[in-house]
Amino acid sequence: MGKRTEFLYLSEPDVIKTGELAPPKAVNNAEEVLVLLAKGDYLMGGPTHNSHGMYLVFPKESPFPNMPTAGPDRRFVAMPAYLGGRFNLCGQKWYGSNAENKKKGLPRSVLMVTLNDKDTGEPLCFMSANLLSAARTGAVPGVGTRYLARKDAEVLTCIGCGPIGKGCMEAVITEMPNLKKVICNNHSPEKAVSMANYITKTYGIEAVEEGDLETAVRAADVISVAASRTAPLHIKREWVKDGCTILASGPLQCDESLWMDMEIVYDHIGLHHAYVSEAIESGDKENYYNGVIGGPIYRLIDAGKKPALDDSLSIGKIILGEQKGRTDDKQIFCFIACGMSVFDLGLGHDVYHTALKEGIGTKLLLWESPAQVED
């Protein structure tokens, strides 16, 4: 007789009900994960265990009538990982993305996370992950704000007011004790107005829509960038205050003089090494750089204008006290935050265990006894 195996299924309402997605819980969770990354107690895909994931992208044309063809944000991605520390599990985030989804009443991306026993491979939990992913994406720049932003920062500018932008905003504002105003900038003003109204109603903080990027940037002490890859964005040096902290959770273009004036802090150096290696292997490094948040900095590193990755700052080492973060109120910081599945596993772990404790979700049977058991 083999071993009975069941796992927990968590719908989106179940995930919300656990309460684990709200900052500062999610920010504290992300800080734990960043420390494990800095210590090396993790594994991701690829030959160096640092790959963001494996992408399935579609051709521009296909002779097969049922094969999808390329479109804006159209792809599938598998993101496996192991996360150590108190989490001590394996898992994967899987998602499909298509900008056309909104015409069908769906989010651009549909995401699921699976948690697995690290030894047996048995599923522990299968959960809806759209809100989980938004929460962990926002939590990482929340950690960046905690360790890099000036404590007297009063104005936050949010560039990008979609679900990810909102997730970033909700985490970042919990780490700005003197916040007085939020400026919302989005390529479609309606979303900026909606987020500004939400902020005022929910947090009692002054919030306004500002369609002019220069005006929005000039006023900011902290800038959260979470705009769509399809929305052009370029920030000039003269717009940015001394002492400002830029949280790049989405594509960002800057004047070279601004890049040179900024202290760059990475979420995880290993991931950026993997991006550069994949860019070289792609045979079209410049085009690859165009598709990743750190691309403009990699170009400056290649040109010898910015420190090599191994000589750069990482937020995990700053948390551990192995590197120094802000030492001067006039320093301009840019925190590069790219998504990694270890953050989904970390936050998913806490969602799962809270659900177990509180009886949330549906238990599903994999088998009473596996049909195939080796002698």
Inform me whether the pLDDT recorded for 121 exceeds 70. yes
Residue type, 155: V
Tell me the CATH number at 129: 3.30.1780.10
In a domain, 74, yes or no: yes
In a domain, 139, yes or no: no
Please state, in angstroms and rounded to a whole number, the distance separating the CA atoms of residues 321 and 271.
Answer: 21
pLDDT digits 0-9 by tens, 140-150: 999 999 999 99
Residues facing residue 7 across a β-bridge: 364
Whether residue 346 sits in one domain with residue 334: no
Whether residue 301 sits in one domain with residue 187: yes
Percent of the chain residues past pLDDT 90, beyond the cut: 93
Whether residue 166 sits in one domain with residue 113: no
Longest dimension (CA), the chain: 71
Q: E-assigned strands of the chain?
A: 5-10, 42-44, 54-57, 75-83, 89-97, 109-116, 123-128, 155-159, 181-185, 206-209, 222-225, 234-235, 245-248, 253-254, 262-266, 313-314, 332-336, 362-367
Whether residue 356 sits in one domain with residue 300: no
In a domain, 20, yes or no: yes
Whether residue 76 sits in one domain with residue 54: yes
pLDDT digits 0-9 by tens, 70-108: 998 899 999 999 999 999 999 999 999 999 999 999 999
Residues facing residue 9 across a β-bridge: 126, 362
Whether residue 267 sits in one domain with residue 151: yes
Tell me the CATH number at 256: 3.40.50.720
Q: Which residues contact 238 (CB under 8 A, 6 or more apart)?
A: none
In a domain, 350, yes or no: yes
Whether residue 359 sits in one domain with residue 215: no
Confidence of residue 2 (pLDDT cuts 50, 70, 90): confident
What is the domain count for the chain? Answer: 2
In a domain, 187, yes or no: yes
pLDDT the model gives residue 265: 98
In a domain, 372, yes or no: no
In a domain, 51, yes or no: yes
Number of residues that this document lists for the chain: 375
Q: Which domain holds residue 318?
A: 147-339
In a domain, 232, yes or no: yes
pLDDT digits 0-9 by tens, 150-194: 999 999 999 999 989 999 999 999 999 999 999 999 998 999 999
Whether residue 296 sits in one domain with residue 195: yes
Confidence of residue 375 (pLDDT cuts 50, 70, 90): low
Whether residue 329 sits in one domain with residue 360: no
pLDDT digits 0-9 by tens, 261-304: 999 999 999 999 999 999 999 999 999 999 899 999 999 999 99
pLDDT digits 0-9 by tens, 347-366: 999 999 999 999 999 999 99
Please state, in angstroms and rounded to a whole number, the distance separating the CA atoms of residues 33 and 321.
Answer: 16
* Backbone φ, ψ for residue 7 (5° rounding): -140, 165
Inform me whether the pLDDT recorded for 231 exceeds 70. no
Whether residue 196 sits in one domain with residue 63: no
Cis peptide before 23 (omega within 30 of 0): no
Burial (CB count <10 Å: 0-12, 13-18, 19+), residue 166 = buried
Within 10 Å of residue 206's Cβ, how many Cβ atoms?
A: 14
Inform me whether the pLDDT recorded for 124 exceeds 90. yes
Whether residue 112 sits in one domain with residue 196: no
Please state, in angstroms and rounded to a whole number, the distance separating the CA atoms of residues 315 and 317.
Answer: 5
Whole-prediction pTM value? 0.94
- Give 241's DSSP letter: P
Inform me whether the pLDDT recorded for 39 exceeds 70. yes
Q: E-assigned strands of 129-235?
A: 155-159, 181-185, 206-209, 222-225, 234-235
pLDDT digits 0-9 by tens, 325-344: 999 999 999 999 998 999 99
For residue 115 the two structure tokens come to: 């948690």
Whether residue 205 sits in one domain with residue 156: yes
For residue 199 the two structure tokens come to: 């902020």
Please state, in angstroms and rounded to a whole number, the distance separating the CA atoms of residues 354 and 348.
Answer: 10
Percent of the chain residues past pLDDT 70, beyond the cut: 98
